[in-house]
Chain A
Amino acid sequence: MITFEGASKHYPDGTVAVADLDLTVETGATTVFVGPSGSGKTTSLRMINRMVEPTGGTIRIDGEDIRRQDPAVLRRSIGYVIQQAGLFPHRTVLDNIATVPLLLGWRRAKARARAAELMELVGLEPAQARRYPHQLSGGQQQRVGVARALAADPPILLMDEPFSAVDPVVRTTLQDELLRLQQELHKTIVFVTHDIDEAVRLGDRIAVFRPGGVLAQYAAPERLLAEPADAFVESFIGYDRGVRRLSFFPARDLSPHEDTVFDDQTRAEDARDIAEGHGSPWVLVVSAERIPLGWVGTDQLSRVPAGVPLGDLDLAPYGHTFNIGTDSLRAALDAAVLSPAGRAVGVDEDGRVVGVVSQDDLGTAIWSVTE
């Protein structure tokens, strides 16, 4: 547990980087400091490993005042990941990762064996061990940066905008990897970003900083999206917070309809009769294995000659599906909005159709959870 007790940082020129911060970072969870530039989020992070000394207040790790420790010793017990990784250009990937173990006086062979383990943990190929940082892509460099921070198995990991310099696709992959690692390792992670989406994705708790180094709100992401503390937090989160909040509600509570799902051998007029009986203008056509094939409207079904199977008709694309077991209401809503039929196709983990959810059904579900 890391506690800030009235911590502040005032510079001699009068600038206030952090103003009287009171905050508790829970052990084993990911806490994200988010805010615009000049809000003191990075300064607050750097106070934890004494890269910045506060001008007022106290910071404790598990109750102990960090000022009572030698800064170098303190830092060796805290993993540190920075923007663009900051890898040493003259050292191989393996020796970069082994940096802190070597500082701690491990034998070289043991430090390198540990570094090789970490390469595997963060998803780097063993063949990359002998390479130099400039031979790696930005995403790979950042993986090395994370491995280097974890090398001495520190309980705390400080990450200062680690993924901001890589492209969006790689960033998403790195975020997924971090979530996976954290499920395995349960480190106390403090993560700084200016990207609220990244904060919501990664954080168990989010601290929103406002310019002037003031903590505006400290809450779990669901809470933050549901109840922004003030106008600043609300505008910082963005206008679509309502939709984004849906990612915290599972889609498994929806009840998909099977009545308008037909296999491709069904005769057009049979499908039309049943669909019209349910008042649905669309039917979903699936294969014998229940893999979705596409949508067809009941008006089109009335125009085809009797006896033609659904599989012979021109089908509208079914768009993208959502997984009923693992996806959120946000994914279901997205699938419905993008579907030509205005209905989302729910599938199981094997991609087989479970049923169809209309926008009306979704509206009811959203209404009930966000009440």
Chain B
Amino acid sequence: MDILIDLYQWFADPAQWSGASGIPARLVEHVYYSALALVLSSAVAVPLGLLTGHTGVGGFATTSLANFARALPTIGVLFLVVLFAGIGLVPVVCALVALAVPPILVNTHEGVRGVEPRLRDAAQGMGMRGREVLMRLELPVATPLILIGMRTAAVQVVATATIAAYVGVGGLGRYIVDGQARQDLTMMLGGSVLVVALAVATTLLFAGLRRLLVAPGLRAETASAR
């Protein structure tokens, strides 16, 4: 139980809550890298997934690429980019984007492909053009699956953004890296608790987004299907 008391004292120390290396500052850094990576990944993966899903062209290439990207070790990508771009934000965000694109891309692609053919038939038969079928039918119907992809990506990104500390740009990973260097178990544990809490908060955020963005008619359906 000593470790829990130590942990409590670590969190209770007022010095932890201020300054450039305090918890709030580290948290802001962490959230910033994660959000940036997620926004960039979505900006790439959602349009690409919509395109391949809608046209059916490049579906195999997309899925293969995504699986290849999944197999990349994030730390490897990080140091590879450091070789080209040097220490800083760029390698961190590149590594996180490589991590986040596959689940978003695959889910967007599958979400659009998964729209029932008779719905697409009805949409075209009523006189919708390709773009209208995509925006008025496929995108809204695929939204639940796209959000699940984004949630998976976000949780992975939040957990993995700790690597930013390796290249000296802060974030909650600092506590883990520094704690390891100093053999300070309490500090490592404190950092881990913060990361876990942020991951849980991320999940809650996506539950909220689902309520906001998914039509009620789909919510009941997907809730029972999943």
Q: B-contacting residues of A (Cβ < 8 Å)?
A: 49, 51, 71-77, 80, 82-84, 86-92, 99-100, 103, 132-134, 148, 158
Chain A min CB distance to B212 (Å):
14
Q: Assuming A89-B218, A132-B216, A133-B217, is B127 touching A82 (CB within 8 A)? A: no
Chain A min CB distance to B29 (Å):
38
Chain B min CB distance to A101 (Å):
11
Q: Assuming A89-B221, A134-B217, is B118 touching A84 (CB within 8 A)? A: yes
Q: A-contacting residues of B (Cβ < 8 Å)?
A: 116, 118-119, 121-129, 132, 136-137, 140-141, 214-218, 220-221
How far apart are the CA atoms of A51 and B133 in the complex, in Å? 14
Q: In the assembled complex, which residues on chain B have CB atoms less than 8 Å from the CB atom of A49?
A: 125
Other-chain contact of B124, A51, A73, A100 (Cβ < 8 Å): A51
Report the number of A-B residue pairs with Cβ-Cβ less than 8 Å.
Answer: 70
Contact B215 A91 (CB under 8 A): yes
Q: In the assembled complex, which residues on chain A have CB atoms less than 8 Å from the CB atom of B128?
A: 72, 103
Q: Assuming A89-B221, A91-B217, is B121 touching A51 (CB within 8 A)? A: yes
Contact B221 A86 (CB under 8 A): no
Contact B126 A100 (CB under 8 A): yes
Contact A72 B127 (CB under 8 A): yes
How far apart are the CA atoms of A158 and B132 in the complex, in Å? 22
Chain B min CB distance to A22 (Å):
25
Q: In the assembled complex, which residues on chain A have CB atoms less than 8 Å from the CB atom of B118?
A: 82-84, 86
With A82-B121, A99-B126 already in contact, 8 other A-B pairs whose C-beta atoms are closer than 8 Å: A72-B129, A80-B126, A86-B122, A88-B137, A89-B217, A89-B221, A90-B214, A132-B220
Prevailing SS type, chain B contact patch: helix
Q: Assuming A82-B118, A82-B121, A83-B118, is B126 touching A90 (CB within 8 A)? A: no
Task: List 24 A-B residue pairs with CB atoms under 8 Å apart, sorted by A's residue number.
Answer: A51-B121, A71-B127, A74-B127, A75-B127, A83-B118, A86-B116, A86-B118, A86-B121, A86-B122, A87-B122, A88-B122, A90-B140, A90-B141, A90-B214, A90-B218, A91-B217, A92-B217, A99-B126, A100-B126, A103-B132, A132-B215, A132-B216, A133-B217, A158-B125
How far apart are the CA atoms of A148 and B122 in the complex, in Å? 11
Chain A min CB distance to B54 (Å):
16
Q: Which residue of A lies closest to B139 (CB)?
A: A90
How far apart are the CA atoms of A88 and B128 in the complex, in Å? 13
Chain A min CB distance to B26 (Å):
41
How far apart are the CA atoms of A101 and B222 in the complex, in Å? 29
Q: In the assembled complex, which residues on chain A have CB atoms less than 8 Å from the CB atom of B126?
A: 75-76, 80, 99-100, 103, 148
How far apart are the CA atoms of A134 and B141 in the complex, in Å? 14
Q: Which residue of A lies closest to B117 (CB)?
A: A86
How far apart are the CA atoms of A99 and B216 in the complex, in Å? 18
Chain A min CB distance to B115 (Å):
10
Please give me the 6 A-B residue pairs with the lowest Cβ-Cβ distance, nearest first.
A132-B217, A86-B122, A76-B127, A90-B215, A75-B127, A80-B125
Chain B min CB distance to A146 (Å):
13
Q: Which residue of B lies closest to A92 (CB)?
A: B217
Q: In the assembled complex, which residues on chain A have CB atoms less than 8 Å from the CB atom of B220?
A: 132, 134
Q: Which residue of A lies closest to B128 (CB)?
A: A103
How far apart are the CA atoms of A82 and B214 in the complex, in Å? 26
Q: In the assembled complex, which residues on chain A have CB atoms less than 8 Å from the CB atom of B137?
A: 88
Chain B min CB distance to A90 (Å):
4
Q: Which residue of A lies closest to B116 (CB)?
A: A86
Q: In the assembled complex, which residues on chain B have CB atoms less than 8 Å from the CB atom of A133?
A: 217
Name the residue in A74, A87, A89, A148 with the highest tally of chain B Cβ atoms < 10 Å from its Cβ. Answer: A89
Q: In the assembled complex, which residues on chain A have CB atoms less than 8 Å from the CB atom of B119?
A: 86, 88-89
Q: Which residue of B lies closest to A71 (CB)?
A: B127
How far apart are the CA atoms of A330 and B211 in the complex, in Å? 57
Chain B min CB distance to A274 (Å):
65
Q: In the assembled complex, which residues on chain A have CB atoms less than 8 Å from the CB atom of B141?
A: 88-90
Name the residue in A86, A87, A134, A158 with the highest tally of chain B Cβ atoms < 10 Å from its Cβ. Answer: A86
Q: In the assembled complex, which residues on chain A have CB atoms less than 8 Å from the CB atom of B214?
A: 90
Other-chain contact of A80, B122, B129, B136, B140 (Cβ < 8 Å): B122
Q: Which residue of B lies closest to A84 (CB)?
A: B118
